[in-house]
């Protein structure tokens, strides 16, 4: 694992009216790691994701991806540079089949993609994630865990270097959480760097190499799972006493 | 080239479709030989409705951004014919009208399609009104008139002009449905956020689709203008024509290309019949029919067909999954 920085956020700030959702956040995502982003509800985690992916405009500060400034780019351009993401509530294409959902990622996510290549990549990714079991089911009828996997599959089909996962495990049962954890590790194993928002502490502590903690939009702690688990401030505002 | 191959010859279904479409166009092309002199006029207006409804669906049906600008583009076409029709042959004016409609829609799209939600609909509604009132003001202020005469063409000439627009449009729609561009529009319609995050340039796709959908409306506007003979801003920018394509497409169903076509045909024939037979009750009966359709067939006539097929498939798939578990 090298220590090259893939994404660097400098002083990222976003205000909604009088509320500062993300307040001057500095962070870096290093090549090959799994970085956890935790914090109480409303801490600004998803907003930070939205700033990185270009989904909402940044008020001040900037994000660099592979040394290139991406602040101000639209999400489609950020995607083509190699950044994939999922949403907290799965956003799939409900009237398309599962396969079509993934194929759209393969087709549009890679500039100058050919149809034939998109087809083979789609099949590869579906097999890789293990979504074959839902092949015949209409997308809205697939259970939550599967819905989230479709999003991951579609994002992976865009061939990202970095994958942002927004609460992949929220609402899943323990067995599904284990599956999702294995999936994240597997994705990292193929050379994709992962930044994930998560509330499931078991997952966070097990799979993350480092963790950053947001509270009221500000970064309050950063470190290894052990360091975060014993950080007094983090325990007080988020983890709670055991 | 590849696209043309898959769209028209890619599967048995697409081959059957191609044969069907060509057969229908040939029959329409030959029909004036067998019909009385009134019929081409009736058919020209009918096809104009089909063109309005089908072209509206290219953009609004796929993306869910409801445009109420059909009257604006149709009216622009009429006015362009009124201005240039005396000196320039109709087909040339139609091409020009299509180009102007494309350009205006492109401009409007660039300004409004960055926004989501209802703003676009409101803006497009305003566009038709804006053009209507502006042209009226210009006419009265500078030309001291309200309307203009339009050079009349024979019923048959108008019919063939409109038919050509329809023929081009239907091939464009078939190609679009199979193209990357059409898929991008589908993605936008089903989840715009996701579409953007998998690399679809959503703004450009929307703007271009809106502009493409405006062009045929401009072209048929120019053609139909000649069959009316006289154009003023109230006739050209008739707001009803902004709502009709929406209603016709909902009536027929928007999931397949045939929905808006069938919707427009039924709509026009029904309207024509009611207007002739029950002129006083026409709007009441028409309104009642619309309410019934939207209540009981929210996805239109073709939606019912879709539903029946989907129901069968789902039952079948349900069994398969049960077996696996």
Please choose, from the candidates B314, B299, B65, B62, the residue with its C-alpha nearest in 3D space to the C-alpha of residue A139.
B314
- Provide the pLDDT for residue B33: 80
Assign A11 to helix, strand or coil: strand
CB nearest A136 (choices: B2, B180, B320): B320
- Provide the pLDDT for residue B172: 94
Interface contact A160, partner B, CB < 8 A: no
Residue B118 scores a pLDDT above 70: yes
Contact A79 B320 (CB under 8 A): no
- Provide the pLDDT for residue B312: 64
Percentage of chain A exceeding pLDDT 70: 98
Assign A128 to helix, strand or coil: helix
- Provide the pLDDT for residue B319: 42
Residues whose CB falls within 8 Å of the CB of residue A157, separated by 6 or more in sequence, listed in order: A102, A103, A104, A105, A106, A109, A121, A122, A125, B198
CA–CA distance, A92 with A77 (Å, rounded to integer): 20
pLDDT digits (tens, 9 = 90+) for A104-118: 999 999 998 998 999
**Confidence class of residue B117 from pLDDT cuts 50, 70 and 90?**
confident
Which residues of chain A does B195 touch, with a Cβ-Cβ cutoff of 8 Å?
104, 108
B256 with B54: CB under 8 angstroms?
Answer: no
- Provide the pLDDT for residue B174: 93
Please choose, from the candidates B291, B288, B237, B290, the residue with its C-alpha nearest in 3D space to the C-alpha of residue B263.
B290
Least confident stretch, A47-51, A137-141, A230-234, B32-36: B32-36
Show the domain range for B132.
2-324
- Provide the pLDDT for residue B324: 34
- Provide the pLDDT for residue B181: 95
Give A56 to chain B, closest Cα distance, Å. 11
Give B248 to chain A, closest Cα distance, Å. 22
**Confidence class of residue B320 from pLDDT cuts 50, 70 and 90?**
very low
Interface contact A173, partner B, CB < 8 A: no
Contact A91 B201 (CB under 8 A): no
- Compute the count of residue pairs across chains A and B with CB atoms less than 8 Å apart: 82
Assign A112 to helix, strand or coil: coil
Taking CA B115 as the corner, what is the angle to CA B112 and CA B117, rounded to the nearest 5 degrees? 110
Give B61 to chain A, closest Cα distance, Å. 14
Chain centroid to Cα B146, Å, comes to 28
B93 with B85: CB under 8 angstroms?
Answer: yes
A6 with A175: CB under 8 angstroms?
Answer: no
C-alpha gyration radius of chain B: 21
Which residues of chain A does B321 touch, with a Cβ-Cβ cutoff of 8 Å?
133, 136-137
Interface contact A44, partner B, CB < 8 A: no
Average pLDDT over residues A217-222: 92
CA–CA distance, A118 with A112 (Å, rounded to integer): 11
Please choose, from the candidates A86, A58, A51, the residue with its C-alpha nearest in 3D space to the C-alpha of residue A162.
A86
A84 with A158: CB under 8 angstroms?
Answer: yes
CA–CA distance, B33 with B31 (Å, rounded to integer): 5
Which residues of chain A does B324 touch, with a Cβ-Cβ cutoff of 8 Å?
133
Number of domains within chain B? 1
Contact A158 B196 (CB under 8 A): no
Contact A158 B324 (CB under 8 A): no
Contact B198 A87 (CB under 8 A): no
DSSP A238: I
Q: Using CB atoms within 10 A of its CB, is residue B316 exposed (0-12), middle (13-18) or buried (19+)?
A: exposed
Contact B198 A115 (CB under 8 A): no
Q: For chain A, give the number of residues.
A: 242
Contact A76 B197 (CB under 8 A): yes
The nearest alpha carbon in chain B to A52 belongs to B197
DSSP A15: E
B204 with A106: CB under 8 angstroms?
Answer: no
Q: How far is CA B47 from CA A123, B20, B113, in A?
A: 43, 17, 29
A158 with A81: CB under 8 angstroms?
Answer: no
Assign A79 to helix, strand or coil: helix
Average pLDDT over residues B122-126: 91
Contact A75 B317 (CB under 8 A): no
Average pLDDT over residues B232-250: 89
Average pLDDT over residues B60-82: 93
Chain centroid to Cα B181, Å, comes to 18
The 10 Å Cβ neighbour count of residue B66 is 17
| CATH (domain of B22) | 1.10.3470
DSSP A210: E
The nearest alpha carbon in chain B to A113 belongs to B180
Give A92 to chain B, closest Cα distance, Å. 7
Strand order in the sheet with A60-65: A19-30, A5-16, A60-65, A68-69
CB nearest A108 (choices: B184, B320, B324): B184
pLDDT digits (tens, 9 = 90+) for A157-170: 999 999 999 999 98
- Provide the pLDDT for residue B237: 93
Average pLDDT over residues A36-51: 93
Assign A76 to helix, strand or coil: helix
The nearest alpha carbon in chain A to B191 belongs to A93
Least confident stretch, A106-115, A189-198, B7-16, B121-130: B7-16
Which of A75, A118, A142 to mutate to test binding with chain B, by most B CBs within 10 Å of its CB? A75
3-state secondary structure chain B: CHHHHHHHHCCHHHHHHHHHHHHHHHHHHHHHHCCCCHHHHHHHHHHHHHHHHHHHHHHHHHHCCCCCCHHHHHHHHHHHHHHHCCCCCHHHHHHHHHHHHHHHHHHHHHHHCCCCCCHHHHHHHHHHHHHHHHHHHHHHHHHCCCCEECCCCCHHHHHHHHHHHHHHHHHHHHHHHHCHHHHHHHHHHHCHHHHHHCCCCHHHHHHHHHHHHHHHHHHHHHHHHHHHCEECHHHHCCCHHHHHHHHHHHHHCCCCCHHHHHHHHHHHHHHHHHHHHCCCCHHHHHHHHHHHHHHHCCCHHHHHHHHHHHHHHHHHHHHHHHHHC
Query: Half-sphere exposure (CA, 13 Å, Cβ side) for B24?
Result: 15
Query: Half-sphere exposure (CA, 13 Å, Cβ side) for B191?
Result: 20
B260 with B254: CB under 8 angstroms?
Answer: yes
pLDDT digits (tens, 9 = 90+) for B25-37: 999 888 888 878 7
Q: Which residue has the higher pLDDT, A207 or B285?
A: A207
Assign A190 to helix, strand or coil: coil
Interface contact A76, partner B, CB < 8 A: yes
H/E element, A29: strand A19-30
pLDDT digits (tens, 9 = 90+) for B177-205: 889 999 999 999 999 999 999 999 999 99
Interface contact A80, partner B, CB < 8 A: yes
CA–CA distance, B240 with B262 (Å, rounded to integer): 19
Contact B190 A80 (CB under 8 A): no
């Amino acid at each position: 694992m090298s220590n090259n920085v893939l994404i660097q956020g400098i002083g990222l700030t976003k205000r909604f009216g009088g509320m500062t959702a993300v307040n001057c956040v500095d962070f870096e995502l290093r090549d090959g790691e799994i970085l956890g982003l935790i914090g109480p509800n409303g801490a600004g985690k998803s907003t930070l994701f939205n700033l990185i992916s270009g989904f909402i405009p940044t008020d001040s500060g900037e994000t660099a991806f592979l040394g290139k400034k991406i602040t101000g780019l639209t999400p489609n351009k950020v995607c083509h540079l190699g950044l994939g993401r999922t949403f907290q509530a799965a956003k799939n294409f409900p009237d398309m089949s599962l396969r079509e959902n993934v194929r759209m990622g393969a087709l549009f996510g890679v500039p100058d993609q050919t149809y034939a290549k998109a087809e083979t990549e789609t099949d590869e990714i579906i097999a890789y994630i293990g979504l074959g079991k839902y092949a015949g089911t209409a997308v809205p009828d697939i259970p939550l865990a599967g819905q989230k996997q479709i999003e991951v599959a579609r994002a992976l089909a865009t061939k990202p270097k970095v994958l942002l996962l927004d609460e992949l495990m929220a609402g899943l049962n323990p067995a599904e959480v284990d599956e999702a954890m294995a999936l994240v590790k597997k994705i990292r194993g193929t050379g994709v760097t992962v930044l994930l928002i998560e509330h499931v502490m078991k997952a966070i502590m097990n799979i993350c190499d480092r963790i950053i903690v947001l509270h009221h939009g500000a970064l309050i702690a950063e470190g290894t799972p052990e360091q975060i688990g014993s950080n007094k401030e983090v325990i007080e505002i988020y983890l709670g006493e055991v | 080239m590849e696209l043309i191959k898959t769209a028209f010859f890619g599967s048995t279904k697409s081959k059957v479709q191609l044969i069907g479409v060509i057969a229908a166009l040939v029959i329409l092309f030959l029909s004036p030989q067998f019909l009385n002199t009134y019929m081409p006029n009736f058919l020209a207006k009918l096809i104009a409705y089909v063109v309005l409804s089908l072209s509206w669906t290219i953009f609004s049906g796929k993306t869910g951004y409801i445009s109420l600008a059909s009257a604006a583009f149709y009216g622009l076409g009429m006015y362009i014919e009124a201005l240039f029709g005396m000196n320039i042959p109709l087909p040339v004016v139609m091409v020009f009208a299509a180009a102007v409609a494309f350009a205006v829609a492109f401009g409007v799209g660039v300004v409004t399609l960055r926004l989501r939600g209802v703003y676009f609909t409101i803006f497009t509604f305003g566009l038709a009104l804006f053009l209507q009132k502006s042209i009226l003001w210009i006419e009265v202020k500078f030309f001291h008139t309200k309307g203009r005469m339009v050079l009349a063409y024979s019923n048959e000439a108008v019919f063939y002009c409109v038919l050509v627009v329809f023929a081009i449009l239907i091939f464009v729609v078939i190609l679009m449905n199979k193209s990357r561009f059409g898929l991008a529009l589908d993605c936008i319609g089903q989840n715009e956020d996701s579409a953007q995050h998998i690399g679809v340039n959503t703004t450009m796709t929307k703007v271009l689709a809106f502009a493409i959908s405006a062009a045929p409306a401009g072209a048929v506007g120019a053609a139909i203008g000649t069959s009316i003979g006289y154009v003023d801003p109230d006739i050209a920018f008739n707001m009803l024509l902004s709502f009709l394509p929406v209603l016709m497409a909902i009536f027929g169903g928007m999931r397949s290309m045939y929905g808006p076509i069938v919707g427009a045909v039924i709509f026009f024939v029904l309207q024509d019949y009611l207007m002739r037979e029950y002129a006083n009750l026409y709007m009441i009966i028409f309104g009642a029919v619309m309410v019934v359709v939207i209540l009981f067939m929210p996805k239109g006539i073709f939606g019912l067909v879709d539903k029946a097929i989907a129901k069968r498939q789902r039952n079948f798939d349900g069994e398969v999954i049960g077996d696996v578990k």
